Amino acid sequence: MMPKAVAGLAAVLLVAGMAGAAPDFAAMSVQPYEPPRPAPAFSLPDLEGKTRLLADLQGKVVMVFFWTTW
């Protein structure tokens, strides 16, 4: 076999052997994904000054932006 073919075969066998193993997140310094949790209940004033409850928007896509000036 050609050297590249041997290296390719070795890589395939190495990956195939690791396919069933669980990832070692600690060794990779990566935290596993956690599913999203529901947002806590809150209310905020809208641009007209009317108080909006998050619960009133259930089932809709909501984007909330927070910013500040110093």
Across 1-5, 18-22, 48-52, the highest mean pLDDT is recorded for 48-52
Tell me what the pLDDT averaged over the chain comes to: 76
* pLDDT at residue 50 in the model: 95
Q: Regarding predicted confidence, which is higher, 60 or 11? A: 60
Q: 52, exposed or middle or buried, with CB in 10 Å at 0-12, 13-18, 19+?
A: middle
User: pLDDT tens for residues 30-54?
Assistant: 777 788 888 889 998 988 999 999 9
Query: If we measure between CA atoms, which residue out of 38, 28, 32, 44 comes closest to residue 58?
Result: 38
Mean pLDDT of 1-13: 53
* pLDDT at residue 33 in the model: 73
